[in-house]
Amino acid sequence: MIGYIRLEILRLIRNGGYLMMSLVMPVGLYLTVAGGGPDQESLARSMVGAAAFGALGVVITNGTGIAEDRALGWLRQLRLTPLSPAQVVVARGAVATCLGIMPIVVIGLVGALYKGVHLSAGTWLEVFVLLWVGIAPLAMLGIGIGYLFPAQLAQIAGTLSYLSLTLLGGLMLPVASLPSWAQPLSKETPVFRYAELSWDAAKGSAFSASGVAVLGVWTVLLAAFAAYAYRRGGRRA
């Protein structure tokens, strides 16, 4: 399975659309719109939101690539290998989370060197690990979209999911700026709870137990969705 993960990473890196989604757009928005400030807590919060935005773009883009692979018969080729369906889904999720490292690191560097975000070494490491590992349940969403829809519909579904979750999850704008009816809903989304882990770490607060529980529930639900989509997509491939 390690060889398959390496192959998928190389294939995605060669995709110019991946670079655009994972680096150019989130870094550009961070520099021009979501810089935060003037206090350190606001600066760190904006940086975490931008990094989460970039990582989310990677995992959603991964779903579009899966749909394109299905159309080219790649899924049929995989079924000829010793890889089980569970291994394929896990491997694709690992690929998405590994590629999510790039926007997290680049935006972190921009935050530290240009935006003036100051954190201790231990806090930087904690924020990085949480942003990287915490994206896993949302990677399952991207995988599910890729296996469930044909390529064009997967791109539309991925874009709508990306933009709506970014807005509702409060990544680039504070949740308080949302309509009053949407604010309680925002805190039940996986994107908000994913970013909340790193927001809390950056300001030295304890993790929200309810937030971890909500993210855990979403992890189970989205993993089940990805497994269902893989089985359904396999029957159509």
Query: pLDDT (tens digit, 9 = 90+) per residue, 141-200?
Result: 999 998 899 888 988 999 899 999 999 998 877 888 888 888 999 999 999 999 999 999
Q: What is the pLDDT of residue 134?
A: 92
Residue 11 scores a pLDDT above 70:
no
Residue 201 scores a pLDDT above 90:
yes
Q: What is the pLDDT of residue 12?
A: 65
Q: What Cα–Cα distance (Å) separates residue 141 from each residue in 31, 72, 117, 120, 158?
A: 28, 21, 31, 33, 9
Tokens in use for 168?
Answer: 């509702």
Q: What is the pLDDT of residue 186?
A: 92
Q: What Cα–Cα distance (Å) separates residue 131 from each residue in 58, 75, 135?
A: 13, 30, 6
Q: What is the pLDDT of residue 80?
A: 63
Q: What is the pLDDT of residue 92?
A: 77
Provide mean pLDDT across the span 112-124: 92
pTM over 0.75: yes
Band (pLDDT 50/70/90 cuts) for residue 32 is confident
Q: What residue segments make up the domains of the chain, in order of their start?
A: 2-236
Provide mean pLDDT across the span 1-22: 66
Q: What is the pLDDT of residue 157?
A: 92
> Over the stretch 52-88, which tens digit does the pLDDT of each residue have?
999 998 888 777 778 877 776 766 676 666 666 677 7
Residue 237 scores a pLDDT above 60:
no
